[in-house]
Amino acid sequence: MANPMILVTGSEGFVGSQLCRELLRRGSSVLAARRAGREGRTAEEKEISQRGTKAQETPHLHTIGLGDIGPDTDWSAALSGMDAVVHLAARVHMMKETAADPLAEFRMVNVAGTRRLAEAAAQAGVKRLVFLSSVKVNGEATGKGREPFREGDPPRPEDDYGVSKWEAEQTLRETERQTGIEVVIIRPPLIYGPAVKANFLNLIRLIERGMPLPFGGIRNQRSLLGLTNVVDLICCCLEHPAAAGETFLASDGDDVSTPELVCRIARSLDKPARLLQVPEWLINLGGKVTGKSNEAKRLCGSLQIDSSKVRLVLGWTPPCTMAEELRRVAAWRDICLHTRG
């Protein structure tokens, strides 16, 4: 498809901003959907668009403002002339949840909002929709004799976010059957890269400060997915004929323990890895006392993904190693620290 037109929701986010950049580089024109009142392009978006135009002549980036995503969102203007949609926007975990009924709020955006978009896209003649789901649909942990998660495993979401993502997948498949729009679903594990936030960023900051970390005795294995790799996979799913109708689990293919991850991050930052041998039970106890049981479980527990399906069906392999992505993270942190200084 020459110079396809792609609508990207969640275009201001961690994955969305990098995806827009890459789509332009590859010759697609991008309509970046953002919240109403934010229609004007940022300086970064202008620079991305100009670079894409110089390189390809025809690709361009436009933005469009939308209200909150939900069952009543009007997508007509955003979908006009689009060949494909990448749906990244979602209600995500809140550090301090304020909703009286969090599951209802997740369903409003992640389920009803996704259904509304898919139905409108099909009506507008959009051929394909790529949806970024979550490995949380499969569950929260593997290990202790359990095999890595696979696409065919029975879904076992354990929190409201995971439940809403699973329900969103189901409504997309229903819309696909009813309308013929091609749906591709990607379930990533934790995504990391430049501009990463939340717990991964907190870990980076602790390593930067030289803080001793009590993870030396943890013997787990976790799958991760670098930002460069997830963006490349999304681009592949937009184009590959065999992706239509499929669900894919994907990772870097380089599973690491928590202490090994600390060592790799420290190496990329040129900092020492200060690891203390603390029993897992004590870490979990500390999580309960501090109200961070879930964080402690993730640090100690395993979550592994079997990526063989995406490699077999699409012939996709991660273009970026973990070491390379962590070097990009280190370069980003260096810029952040110098800017603040």
Report which DSSP code applies to 53: H
pLDDT value, residue 36: 60
Q: What is the spatial distance between Cα 85 and Cα 79, in angstroms, rounded to a whole number?
A: 8
Phi, psi of 29, deg, nearest 5: -95, 140
| 63-105 pLDDT tens trace | 888 878 899 999 999 999 999 999 999 988 665 656 778 889 8
CATH architecture of 5-193+226-253+305-319: 3-Layer(aba) Sandwich (3.40)
- Given a cut of 50, is residue 52 above it in pLDDT? no
The predicted pLDDT at position 243 comes to 98
| Residue 128 pLDDT greater than 90, yes or no | yes
Would the pLDDT of 40 be above 70? no
Give the start-to-end residue ranges of the domains of the chain. 5-193+226-253+305-319
pLDDT at 193: 96
Instruction: State how far the Cα of 59 lies from the Cα of 56, in Å rounded to an integer.
Output: 6
Mean pLDDT, range 209-226, rounded to an integer: 94
Give the confidence band of 198 by pLDDT, cuts at 50, 70, 90.
Answer: confident
pLDDT at 288: 85
What pLDDT band is residue 51 in, cutting at 50, 70 and 90?
A: very low
What is the C-alpha to C-alpha distance for residues 56 and 33, in angstroms, rounded to an integer?
Answer: 22
| Stretch 235-254: mean pLDDT | 97
53 token code pair: 């135009």
pLDDT 10s digits, 308-327: 999 999 999 999 999 999 99
- Would the CA dihedral through 10, 254, 165, 171 be positive or negative? positive
Report, as an integer, the average pLDDT of 118-127: 96
Average pLDDT over the chain reads 89
| pLDDT reported for residue 307 | 95
> Which one is predicted more confidently, 294 or 237?
237
pLDDT at residue 95 in the model:
53
Instruction: Kindly state the tokens that stand for 110.
Output: 């992640």
| 83, 1 Cβ separation under 8 angstroms | yes
Separation of alpha carbons 305 and 231, rounded Å:
18
Query: Each residue of 19-46: b (16+ CB within 10 Å) or e?
Result: bbbbbbebbbbbbbbbeeebeebeeebe
**pTM, to two decimals:** 0.89
Residues marked active site are found at 161
